Amino acid sequence: MSKAPGNAAADLDRSAAAQNMDQIQAGIASQKLRAVVPQNQIAAAPAVPFSQLNFSTSRFLQLVAGGHDGVLARYVEDELVVIFWVRPAGLGGSILGAQMKAADLFNAIRPGIDPFASRDACLAILDDHAQPVALSIRKYNASWKNPFVATEIGETLPHWEATLYLLHPDAISQSAQLITETLYGLIGLAIGAIAIGSLLIALDTHRQLRLAQKKTDFVSNVSHELKTPLTSIRMFAELLHERRVTDPAKIADYLRIMRVEAERLTRLINNVLDFARLERNQKHYTRRLLDLQPEIERLWESQAEHLRAQGFSVEADIASGPWWAMVDNDSIVQVIVNLVSNAEKYSPEKKEIEFRAAVEDGLIRIEILDRGAGVPAGEEKKIFESFYRAHDSLSSGIPGSGLGLTLALRIARDHGGDVRCERRAGGGSIFTLTLPEQSPS
């Protein structure tokens, strides 16, 4: 106990107490270093000094001046002693104090860390000699100077540290490595996704540009296709109207040409309209069960007459019926007309067309064989794409819009069938339409 001075004798007592405190503090190293080196600081300089706030004051009365209570730590013969002091009100400024040795602190600290018991880590309180005072896991042993993490407890217990030791450090390393590999993998996937996305965007842009070019060519082709039959119809109509032609044979020939050009114009318009409906999913079929054999025979007779008038040599091999199928008759007729028209357009020199129709293995097979320019190798599927033309040029002199084969394939597949193209031995192409045969019952 110490009492505030009120006279000369008290001043001497205070001076003696101050000198005694100076002697106590003189034993404390001014730059004592930490006894432990946490793993996250091993690569750094090991000489890390403790906080020096508690040792900057060497006079007890100066330290407690103006305060009401507190805790001070000091070392006596290299042993930590903690002083608890209080200045009660009503005692004329007297200071009451109690001193506790480190051994008495052990029992007070140990119960405080029991709630921190864990299967993965051990919490330890180390004294100034880096020796455990209390452990969250009893009988645990480790290299006390190299905890996973450590921190000073504070000014109350200088040089003491709260430390954490991993029970399974390899597992932590493996987890860290797994996380690192996972992050690298995710980064790689992200980069790959970006690269693939960029490639897909580039490919789609290229496809859109090609499609835009095809649409531009389509408009040009359709404009040309519309003008040609209209010009012919108008010219022959004017000749007949003005009675410039009197020969009955020529009149009949002109009327036939006008009819053919009108059919050609109608077919072109129908193809464009049907394609627009298919693109909007508005194409409607009126299906009914019918015998296709007589329908196909009548269709071929009209087509053969037209082809012969154009200078074609035609052959037909149509098997006997009946061929029952659930179809929209007008749509199937449109498919066959488009295929025959395609063979006609691409046979400018060797004008030979053969027509075959039969039933094989439950399928109605209709084949149109020509000796024309043929389909370039590798383009057997591309010719069915919208607006695509194997000989895509107005300068080629081959009429067409690039929609006939597209419509033929779409209509056939809507009926459960298909259209295929093959190269014909000796030159030319073979287009095959297949439709499923139905039972009449």
pLDDT in tens, 312-365: 999 999 998 899 999 988 889 889 988 998 888 888 778 899 999 999 988 999
Residue 234's contacts (CB-CB under 8 Å, 6 or more residues apart) are none
Instruction: Determine if the pTM surpasses 0.85.
Output: no
Q: Residue 127 is encoded by which pair of tokens?
A: 């004294």
The runs of H, that is alpha helices, within 310-384 are 329-345
Average pLDDT of the chain, as a whole number: 78
What pLDDT, in 10s, does the model give residues 5-38? 344 444 444 444 444 444 444 444 444 566 777 7
Dist CA 238 CA 234 (whole Å):
6
| pLDDT tops 50 at residue 172 | yes
Q: Residue 40 is encoded by which pair of tokens?
A: 């996250």
Q: For the CA atoms of 221, 223, 226, 231, what is the dihedral angle to 10 degrees?
A: -110
| pLDDT tops 60 at residue 392 | no
3-state helix vs strand vs coil in the chain, percent to 5: 45, 20, 35
What domains can you pick out in the chain, each with its CATH number? 8-167 (no CATH), 284-436 (3.30.565.10)
417 near 427, Cβ under 8 Å? no
Indicate the helix (H) or strand (E) that contains 174. helix 169-241
Q: What is the pLDDT of residue 17?
A: 44
Percent of the chain whose pLDDT exceeds 90: 19
Of the two residues 395 and 33, the one the predictor is more confident about is 33
Of the pLDDT bands very low, low, confident and very high (cuts 50, 70, 90), residue 220 is: low
